[in-house]
Structure 1
Amino acid sequence: MKKFIGLILLLTVMGAAALLTAQKSRTAPTVLRGFVGGEKSALLADPEFGKLLWERYGLVLEAEKRGSLEMVTESDTTGKDFLWPSSSVALALYKDAGKPLLASENVLNSPLVLYTWAKVADALDKQKLDFPKLVNAAATGKTWKELGLPELYGKVVLYTTDPLKSSSGNLYAGLLQTVLGDTSKVKALIAAQGFQESSSDTLFTQYVSRGIGDKPIIVGYEAQLIDFARTSPEKYATQKAQLRVLYPKPTVWSSHPILALTPNGKKLIAALQDPEVQKLAWERHGFRSATGATNDPKACGVEGIPETIESVVPVPDTRAMQALLTALR
């Protein structure tokens, strides 16, 4: 008799689980529409990320790529539930403009880094050029030949995204202002780059695909190399011996806040703080946790990633950044 009772209980549990699954399959998801920084494109395209949001929170994201500053200053947000830029500067600019905002929360982090090639990194090391000295070399018009790289054409340039549209370029401009303390020098270094992309993922793709001769050094996020290694393992395997990531001292943090514009948008804040989402964002896409979760460098599968980021300076305050943006325009 006990066996029959156990069997009945088992079938009841199985039946209830099946019923819940069937009900869930018939339940329409909550579709959230918004703008997102390009460096998070691979994260949003990750099937596991989408699965976690749907199965645990009933959410589906429909996101359009925009430069972080572009989305908060220029884009029409009608019909959008959220914005997901790549810096606290973007959030501050949005708030200062008095635009509608129900809630905001930083959910991910990534430090600003330099991407270069083995030959360039070796030359910089031989010349004993740390970040301030490298910036000064660019500001004073030094050539690559003078840094021991005669095969590279022209003057030393560090390439970024457009600081008027994209957070990585904007954060770099703020870092230059901190290091140099001279807006005219910052303007000159930005202008020396010529045309600038509006998305950091586009710039990083050019870096890995075009090689050392196109842009010997670019500015990006730490997350991008980890993302590349995990999402394109074959390409990474063929190039990793030449790819180099340099951590400027000082550097700045790129935060990735969610700006909830609607009640449904607020649901995304909770979903992105889920421990499993945070774990996936680090191990598969290189974003460090903003919730206090541990980020083990061994778990992301890329050599040379430090456990902690040292020598970090704060981003200049909103007033200073707005003045810098005005000067750069």
Structure 2
Amino acid sequence: MKLDTVREDKAILNVTSRLADTFADIHTPEDVEAAVRVAREQFADDPVREYVPILVERIVRTQLTPAPDPVVPETLAEPTAEQRGSRPGVALPAAIAGVLVVATIATVVIVRNGDDVQASGITTVSGVIGSEKRAFFEDPDVQAALAKHGLAVQVDTAGSREIATTVDLAKYDFAFPSSTVAADRIQQGSADRPGVAGKKYAVFSSPMAIATYRPIANLLSATGIARQVNGVWYFDMRRYMDLAKAGWRWDDIRGNTTYPVRKRLLVTTTDPRTSNSAAMFLSIASYVANGQTVVQGTAEERKVLPYVTPLFVNQGYTDNSSEGPFEDYLSLGMGKTPLVCIYEAQFVDAAVRGKLKSDMVLMYPSPTVQSRHTLLSLKPNGDKLGELLSTDQELQQLAAQHGFRTADPDQFAKVVSAGKVPVAEQVVDVADLPTYDTLERLLNSVSKAYR
């Protein structure tokens, strides 16, 4: 309950600031704060809190927006500025203001059916998303921006490959996995699951990266795996795979006093059977194992599998989605996860929100791949959301604040500059992804090795 209160308080502060800017010419900040306070009090006893900031903003906007001049009996006419002794529009007579508030609240009807909540004028859109986008949709500013367009989004999270293969999509308006490949899988279906018709929206993107610690990066530079260029760290995938193939462990690194453990020298990934980030890492590894060439055909698939499969099965247990290993990285330190495959957006988002420790650094696999977070509409409301996320400037700016690269590179550049996050301005060494069918066969072959 405490977490909900903190989120709501933050959202109300943002609403108040936004409204104060909007109505600065006709209302003082004190008037806006008072109107927000009064509107919020209407929901003081409401146990369902997630919609309160949205409803408060709608109420106060309606209340403070000047109406066309009506013909009003002289006895009810608003006093002039001179009579009030204040600036125009600062306050309404209490009786009229009360009528406006009551009238506005009368238009905001909340209907409860079990756990479902819907506000009049707000359309609830439901979806299943990759866990790395959870923070974006939980952001009160994102929720307020969507509410301006009459939408409230409710999401469940799952691994992107789970979304594409096992999640029941019938109850959702949209699916939002972490790559075009996963969206293609949903559309095409399989022998045991029919395909789904729907429009794809490439909303934003994020290159795959590796989260590590400065002492580990310095240690790996002695092996030829890591190098730093203009303040940005890079991770040589070919050198890494050579050492992994040779069975290297951390304590095989000469002079290693930083991390002298007997664990295998491996990058922690998610489970390739369920998660897109692991599938993206497999795409990189297969490209490198195939001589810096995209894998094509069964002969090349058989050729690379002995090199790429151990990178996953030798890890032991792996999480189903990218949220798990990154949370371990943030909280448990390098003892558990010295190298973690993540989306660049996760690291940038954590940096912007002050979650990183001073020794945490980001490395880019060389080569890497771009993961294009692709929304697939399943019902008409999904189309409305996809179009909005793809084109609305405010939502695109908010996506950049959560670490995603959008169609406008300046948005991302401003975020990382303000947060002093050492990332690559342009990610140049990018491999192409294998075809949908090839990647599926590689994933299925790796999955069999687990058994």
| 1:160-192 Cα deviation digits (max 9, x unpaired) | 001111110111011111111311221111101
Distance 2:172 2:363 in 1: 37
Q: Does 1:107 align with 2:203?
A: yes
Partner of residue 73, structure 1 = 165
Distance 2:167 2:412 in 1: 37
Distance 1:23 1:245 in 2: 51
Distance 1:102 1:297 in 2: 32
**Percent of pairs identical after alignment?**
29
Q: Using the TM superposition, give the Cα deviation of residue 104 of structure 1 relative to its aligned residue in structure 2, in angstroms.
A: 1.0
Q: Using the TM superposition, give the Cα deviation of residue 207 of structure 1 relative to its aligned residue in structure 2, in angstroms.
A: 0.9
| 1:42-69 Cα deviation digits (max 9, x unpaired) | 11110000000011x2111110011001
Using a 3 Å threshold, how does the CA distance of structure 1 residues 70 and 13 change in structure 2: closer, same or farther? closer
Distance 1:21 1:118 in 2: 55
Q: Are the equivalent residues in 2 in contact too, given 1:107–1:257 (CA < 8 A)?
A: yes
TM-score, normalised to structure 2, is 0.65
Distance 2:203 2:158 in 1: 18
Q: Are the equivalent residues in 1 in contact too, given 2:208–2:277 (CA < 8 A)?
A: yes
Report SS of the residue matched to 1:14.
coil
Q: Are the equivalent residues in 2 in contact too, given 1:107–1:256 (CA < 8 A)?
A: yes
Partner of residue 372, structure 2 = 255
Report SS of the residue matched to 2:172.
coil
Using a 3 Å threshold, how does the CA distance of structure 1 residues 39 and 13 change in structure 2: closer, same or farther? closer
Using a 3 Å threshold, how does the CA distance of structure 1 residues 23 and 279 change in structure 2: closer, same or farther? farther
Distance 1:218 1:13 in 2: 50
Where do residues 1-329 of structure 1 align in structure 2 (5 Å cutoff)? Answer: 14-15=66-67, 25=108, 27-55=120-148, 57-97=149-189, 98-129=194-225, 130-148=236-254, 149-150=256-257, 151-181=260-290, 182-231=304-353, 233=354, 235-236=355-356, 239=357, 241-273=358-390, 274-283=392-401, 285-289=402-406, 291-300=407-416, 301-329=419-447
Distance 2:368 2:106 in 1: 49
- RMSD over aligned Cα atoms: 2.4
Using a 3 Å threshold, how does the CA distance of structure 1 residues 105 and 24 change in structure 2: closer, same or farther? farther
Q: Are the equivalent residues in 2 in contact too, given 1:49–1:277 (CA < 8 A)?
A: yes
Q: Are the equivalent residues in 1 in contact too, given 2:277–2:341 (CA < 8 A)?
A: yes
| 1:74-106 Cα deviation digits (max 9, x unpaired) | 011122100000011101211221422221111
> Which sits farther off after the overlay, 98-107 or 33-42?
98-107
Report SS of the residue matched to 1:31.
strand
Report SS of the residue matched to 1:294.
helix
Q: Are the equivalent residues in 2 in contact too, given 1:68–1:85 (CA < 8 A)?
A: yes
| 1:189-242 Cα deviation digits (max 9, x unpaired) | 1101101101101110001111111121110010111111233x2x42xx1x21
Q: Are the equivalent residues in 2 in contact too, given 1:115–1:220 (CA < 8 A)?
A: yes
Amino acid of the structure 2 residue aligned with 1:218: V
Distance 1:12 1:258 in 2: 36
Amino acid of the structure 1 residue aligned with 2:244: A
Q: Using the TM superposition, give the Cα deviation of residue 155 of structure 1 relative to its aligned residue in structure 2, in angstroms.
A: 1.8
Gaps of 5+ in 1: 1-10
> Which sits farther off after the overlay, 139-148 or 172-181?
139-148
Using a 3 Å threshold, how does the CA distance of structure 1 residues 168 and 54 change in structure 2: closer, same or farther? same
Using a 3 Å threshold, how does the CA distance of structure 1 residues 12 and 269 change in structure 2: closer, same or farther? closer
| 1:273-301 Cα deviation digits (max 9, x unpaired) | 21111111112x10000x34523434231
**Based on CA coordinates, which of the two structures has the bigger radius of gyration?**
2
Distance 2:409 2:310 in 1: 40
Runs of 4+ aligned residues of structure 1 deviating over 4 Å after TM superposition are 16-26
Return the structure number with greater relative CO, CA threshold 8 A, min gap 6.
1
Q: Using the TM superposition, give the Cα deviation of residue 139 of structure 1 relative to its aligned residue in structure 2, in angstroms.
A: 2.2
Distance 1:139 1:225 in 2: 28
Report SS of the residue matched to 2:267.
coil
Distance 1:21 1:230 in 2: 37
Using a 3 Å threshold, how does the CA distance of structure 1 residues 12 and 286 change in structure 2: closer, same or farther? closer
> Which sits farther off after the overlay, 121-130 or 171-180?
121-130
Distance 1:13 1:254 in 2: 43
Using a 3 Å threshold, how does the CA distance of structure 1 residues 78 and 305 change in structure 2: closer, same or farther? same
Distance 1:282 1:23 in 2: 37
Distance 1:79 1:315 in 2: 31
